[in-house]
Structure 1
């Protein structure tokens, strides 16, 4: 029996590592194996910022990968948490009755949804702002080079 509350928390906390995919679909989940790639690239981008500063062009390409991955996993946690018990049990607990307990929404499920909404939207906005700021600063710098 796959528990909706556990799946929502795994998507929120361990989503960038694919933990929710492995929990729901097993180790054969392709998405579960692919999710750590943008996470690792984003962490590498953060390391480049630390080493080379914010002017590093690769960092403003790589850092948002981590942010978008975290935001996407937070959205997945919200979708899991808000799924009706009937739909959850039909999809992930096929042999159980539609109103079985693992698909019910509890206070911990709502907590996962609220935290995913709070953190996910913050990380998404920060990633977008970081990307656009670095892009426009790069464009201004290139414009200055052309005008000289």
Structure 2
């Protein structure tokens, strides 16, 4: 699918950094595809579910099992935003121009998208490892609670 010549060309640098900074809310999707992008409108919901889990854990403590289920949604959405930034930043210039250049000639990108990819790799890797560790810990805690309940 090629970009319409009526649209303005989109900056790969800006799209990469929007994915880094606002990927959990779909900012990069709205920039690239407009306000009618239904996938962009789906991004905030799992993020808000994860934030609700963080609020529950802060208010009710670490023993709240519902927050154990909700918090990983936030981690997965943060990781998804970082993966989106990596994909956008590493898209070849020719393909980017074909898809989002609006008929403009290919423009070579500078260091902006690459720096965004580096930040996304660092943040995304840390968030994904933390999410996996949190989910694993809470799963084993849940198993321990089940074993104690059966033993009593």
Aligned pairs, number: 144
Shift of 1:105: 2.8
TM-score, with structure 1 as normaliser: 0.94
Match of 1:115 among 109, 119, 124: 119
TM-score, with structure 2 as normaliser: 0.92
Distance (whole Å) between structure 1 residues aligned to residue 111 and residue 146 of structure 2? 52
Give deviations 1:55-108, integer Å, cap 9, x for gaps.
1111111111011001011011001111100011111124122x2x2xx33212
- Structure 2: unaligned runs, 5 residues or longer: 1-8
Contact 1:81 1:105 in 2 (8 A): no
Distance (whole Å) between structure 2 residues aligned to residue 51 and residue 139 of structure 1? 24
Query: Are 1:10 and 2:18 matched, yes or no?
Result: yes
Residue of structure 1 in register with 2:78 after alignment: 70
Shift of 1:122: 0.4
Query: Are 1:137 and 2:145 matched, yes or no?
Result: no
Give deviations 1:20-62, integer Å, cap 9, x for gaps.
0110000010111110001111111000110111111111111
The structure carrying a bigger helix percent of its residues is 1
- Name the Cα RMSD after superposition: 0.9
